[in-house]
Amino acid sequence: MTKHSLTSSPIKLFADDIKMYHIVNNLNNAIYFQSILNSINYWCTDSQLSLNYDKCFILHLGKSNTKFSYGLNGVLFPSPDQVKDLGVFIDSSLSFSKHIAATCSKARSRCSLFLKSFISRDLFSMKQFFISYIRPLLEYSSPVWSPITQGDINALESVQRFYTNRVPCCTFLPYKRRLEILAIDSLQKRRQIADLVCLFSIINGSTNTFLHPYLNFELPSITRSHNLRICKPLLNLSLSYQNLISRSASSWNKLPNSVLSSNSKLQFRKKVALFCADPIR
For 115-132, what is the mean pLDDT?
A: 93
User: Per the structure, how many domains does the chain have?
Assistant: 3
Residue 6 lies in a domain: no
Indicate the average pLDDT of the chain.
Answer: 90
Range of the domain at 270: 190-275
Q: What is the pLDDT of residues 54-95, one digit of tens each?
A: 889 999 988 888 899 999 988 999 999 999 988 999 998 888
Residue 121 lies in a domain: yes
Residue 4 lies in a domain: no
Residue 223 in this model has a pLDDT that exceeds 70: no
- Asked whether residue 60 falls in the same domain as residue 119, the answer is no
| pTM given for the model | 0.88
- Predicted confidence at residue 2, as pLDDT, reads 56
For 159-175, what is the mean pLDDT?
A: 94
DSSP-derived secondary structure for the chain: -----TTSTTEEEETTEEEE-----SHHHHHHHHHHHHHHHHHHHHTT----GGG------STT------EETTEEPP--SEEEETTEEEETT---HHHHHHHHHHHHHHHHHHHHH-----HHHHHHHIIIIIHHHHHTTHHHH---SHHHHHHHHHHHHHHHTTSGGGTTS-HHHHHHHHT---HHHHHHHHHHHHHHHHHTTSS----TTT--BPPP-SSSS-S-PBPPP--SSGGGGGSHHHHHHHHHHT--HHHHT-SSHHHHHHHHHHHSPPS--
